[in-house]
Amino acid sequence: MLSPPATAPVDDWTTDYDIFDPEYVKDPTPVWKDLREGCPMARTDRRGIRSWLPTKYADVQALAKIVPELSSKDPLVVTLPPDMDVVDNSSGLNAPPISADPPEQIWTRRMILPAFAPRAVEAHREFTEDLCNRLIDGFIDDGRCDAAVDYAQQIPPRVIAHMLGFDPNKADDFTEWVRGVLELGLADPKIRVKYRDIIQNFLITEVTSRAKEPRDDYLSELLAMDIPEMKGREIQVVVGIANLLLIAGIDTTWSSIGSALYHFGTHPDDRRRLAADDALFPTALEEMLRYYSPVTMARMAQEDVPFGDIVIRDGEKVLMNFPGANHDEDAFEDADKVLIDRTRNRHIAFGSGIHRCAGSNLARLEMDVSVRTWFARIPEFEVSNPDAVTWAGGQVRGPRKLPMRF
């Protein structure tokens, strides 16, 4: 696997933070704690652009409201090093509503919300349960597996393929493509552009075929929606939306499932408690989402934006550090502790403000089914070698190798 561009070690996190620092990727909580106490808006000029890292819950929420001055049109976390400018260096993410500001953000979001309402996502429960059971059948007799690769990573691409009406055999390709854009692509723009184009071309073929011959599936439904703003560019809009659903729905959710299994595989007391008491699942899974929040997004200033005692200058970025906000002691008691029965838990793992995750009900369903099914079939398990666990960082953080024995 490619690692992010090599950069110098960090001397001063307040003026030169680096979200790709290997220790930060492994466990960012000590850095957030120090920053929150000393400099809640850290900055860096690494990677060719100044960007800001808020660490306070209230600040992240306030920043999410500054729309469109802090714009989502270029939502990648960091820009790429200038010496990599040889290829198209725009983010290339035509992925509304996440890559749009109002008004486009509003009408594209409206198009997708009904399919992600709580009742609508329930339709995917049985499929997800069968899938989880089949995956477990594949390794349960071995007494060991890689819970990231053999389990967590396998679930969201198949659920999305099922939802969007794609060939289920394509799921492994989706995984590779999404990692190409969001993980490996953050380190190397050539990889990002390659996978972005693969996804776009695949989706153009799929959407065009449905425009010619509608089917009984979700993409055809999107194409047929009566949205005045979409008239004449239906294919482009639906390709963009499908692009987002593919990208936003895959490694986010598998990171959360993987983090939950990592936690219970390294904390036997919590594991035993949850295995003994089903009623704890709702609070335990919300706590996993809070503590191990996977997603950091970015905004880019369209003008100078005064914020507290700093000014975010036109063209600078702000990282929407939802994970860091979720560890703020002012918002959560014992914020750096996992409490699987935490009842007051207004975490913002799914974001805050107008871009709040449209797929949160589906994500929660996938987490609920996959962790419950695992516990029902494999109540006793542990991470076999904690040193062998690897984490992806940057835009989406979660375990990528997770050796488990049971």
Binding site for ligand HEM (CB under 6 A): 72, 75, 97-98, 105, 109, 112, 160, 244-245, 248-249, 252-253, 256, 294-295, 297, 320, 322, 349-351, 355, 357-359, 362-363
The answer to whether 290 and 326 have CB atoms below 8 angstroms apart is: yes
Least distance (Å) between residue 95 CB and ligand HEM:
8
Least distance (Å) between residue 356 CB and ligand HEM:
6
Least distance (Å) between residue 367 CB and ligand HEM:
6
The answer to whether 355 and 98 have CB atoms below 8 angstroms apart is: yes
Q: Which is nearer to ligand HEM, 312 or 349 (CB)?
A: 349
Q: Which is nearer to ligand HEM, 159 or 383 (CB)?
A: 159
376-380: Cβ within 8 A, 24+ apart: 377/133, 377/136, 377/140, 378/136, 378/140, 378/406, 379/275, 380/271, 380/275, 380/406
Percent of the chain that is helix, strand, coil (3-state, to 5): 55, 10, 35
Sign of CA dihedral 229, 230, 236, 239: positive
Q: What is the DSSP string of 168-222?
A: GGGHHHHHHHHHHHHTGGGT-HHHHHHHHHHHHHHHHHHHHHHHHS--SSHHHHH
Least distance (Å) between residue 305 CB and ligand HEM:
16
Q: Which is nearer to ligand HEM, 249 or 265 (CB)?
A: 249
Least distance (Å) between residue 384 CB and ligand HEM:
25
Q: Which is nearer to ligand HEM, 4 or 359 (CB)?
A: 359
Name beta bridge partners: 403. 146
Q: Which is nearer to ligand HEM, 110 or 313 (CB)?
A: 110
Least distance (Å) between residue 131 CB and ligand HEM:
14
- Of 392, 400, 278, residue with least CA distance to 340: 278
Q: Which is nearer to ligand HEM, 117 or 388 (CB)?
A: 117
Residue nearest to ligand HEM (CB): 359
